[in-house]
Amino acid sequence: MTDRAALATALTACLADLVAIPSPFPPGDTAKICAYAADRLKRAGYRTEVAHRTPGVDNVVASLGSGSPHLVFNAHADTVGIGERALWRSDPFTAELRDGLVIGLGAGNCKASMAVQLWLAEAIALAGGPQRGTVTFTFVGDEENLGPDGMAFLRESGKVKPDMLVLGAQTENQLITAERGVLWVALETRGTAAHAGAPDKGDNAILRMLRIVSHIERALGQRLTSRVDGPMRSTINLGMIRGGHNTNVVPSACRVEIDRRLLPNETVDAAYAEIAALVAEVGEPADKVSIERLRGTNGFRAPADGALVLGFSAAIQAASGAPPRFLNATGVSDGRYFADDGIEIVNFGPGAGDQGHAANESVPIAQMVAAALIQRDLVARLLGL
């Protein structure tokens, strides 16, 4: 039996260490916090590597065991910035314990999961390692930037090839087993500048853009109303618009950026083609309009009868006496980089989603303890301990 009080103390101390190591984006420097994690994992006996594509955006990969199945745990080590300092009631980089909570920048998103996974890694090593297969722990940067230098880099470089992937997330120790894809698209229109006193002498790029986005909103908006999968909806959002440089000048350029969220059965290629076709339907001169795919990843859904989902369900039931709840993800996780690999992907961890990116961010200590014990049980069920 695990001494829960001792476990709570150990997890709180680890999380306090992590909160005290600044890793906000920008600039997204994870060198020091990854060095901390790598040192603990090396001392526990893991084969440990610190890898990066961009200096300063470090990532840790640490493995124990060999062969299949390959179970990978992940938590991102970067955080958002402090925001408005006056809103914080304590030092954001000093963990404060209050009313059963740990408070500090990144406490919930995602350093609590990182602390739990570090404890889990050490617990697995103390038990002699997995009886079969491989367990790997990854702690990465560039998540808050939605950038390519964290988990995406580990996948592209072949440093991580999981059969099952567990992503630390604020799920209050419930499960997210399906996630929407995301596509970002930029549209640019061009025109001819002229004096605003004689607008007919120019060609207004903003008006051209308005014609295009109005058509997209009408046509695609109607289609998306029927694209529903349980609580998940296919959506589009015009997130940014820039155009013109002075009120008294006919604008010669305009740019918008669009966010599309896709159901797991939709693809980024098809979604991009759909937007491009709608742009063409407006009939603006081809040399006056351009479209660019900025980034995109497909969604995923772990099978309900997969080993990872069943293992988690059994472990949660054993710990809480109740079956897990399956939550709807509003955002996207680093699991999206593995969406096309045919693996099982689950988001799990302590803390509530509304605490992420908030001043006085917190995580319940009791949830950290429960998350640690549930995931140790999970490893025992899947790999043996």
Q: Structural domains in the chain?
A: 4-179+300-382 (3.40.630.10), 181-297 (3.30.70.360)
Predicted confidence (pLDDT) at residue 166 exceeds the cutoff of 60:
yes
Predicted confidence (pLDDT) at residue 343 exceeds the cutoff of 60:
yes
> What is the pLDDT at residue 179?
95
State pLDDT tens for residues 269-323.
Answer: 999 999 999 999 999 999 999 999 999 999 999 999 999 999 999 999 999 999 9
> What is the pLDDT at residue 358?
87
> What is the pLDDT at residue 146?
84
Among the listed residues 4, 52, 331, the one whose alpha carbon sits nearest the alpha carbon of residue 170? 331
How does the average pLDDT of the chain come out, rounded?
A: 96
Which residues touch 273 (CB under 8 Å, ≥6 apart)?
none
In whole angstroms, give the CA distance from residue 273 to residue 370.
45
State pLDDT tens for residues 47-103.
Answer: 999 999 999 999 999 999 999 999 999 999 999 999 999 999 999 999 999 999 999
State pLDDT tens for residues 195-250.
Answer: 999 999 999 999 999 999 999 999 999 999 999 999 999 999 999 999 998 999 99
Report residue 294 as tokens: 């900025």
Q: What percent of the chain has pLDDT over 70?
A: 100
What average pLDDT does this structure show over 163-182? 96
In whole angstroms, give the CA distance from residue 170 to residue 111.
10
Among the listed residues 183, 175, 146, the one whose alpha carbon sits nearest the alpha carbon of residue 333? 146
What average pLDDT does this structure show over 245-269? 96
State pLDDT tens for residues 226-235.
Answer: 999 999 999 9
**319 touches 376 (CB < 8 A):** no
- Residue 312: how many CB atoms within 10 A of its CB? 28
> What is the pLDDT at residue 340?
94
Predicted confidence (pLDDT) at residue 356 exceeds the cutoff of 80:
no
> What is the pLDDT at residue 1?
55
CA distances from 173 to 106, 107, 176, 326 (A): 17, 15, 10, 10
For CA atoms 217, 222, 225, 226, give the dihedral sign.
negative
Predicted confidence (pLDDT) at residue 2 exceeds the cutoff of 90:
no
Q: What percent of the chain has pLDDT over 90?
A: 95
> What is the pLDDT at residue 379?
98
Helix 365-382 and helix 112-126: axis angle, to 10°? 40
Around 118, how many Cα atoms within 13 Å sit in the side-chain half-sphere? Answer: 29
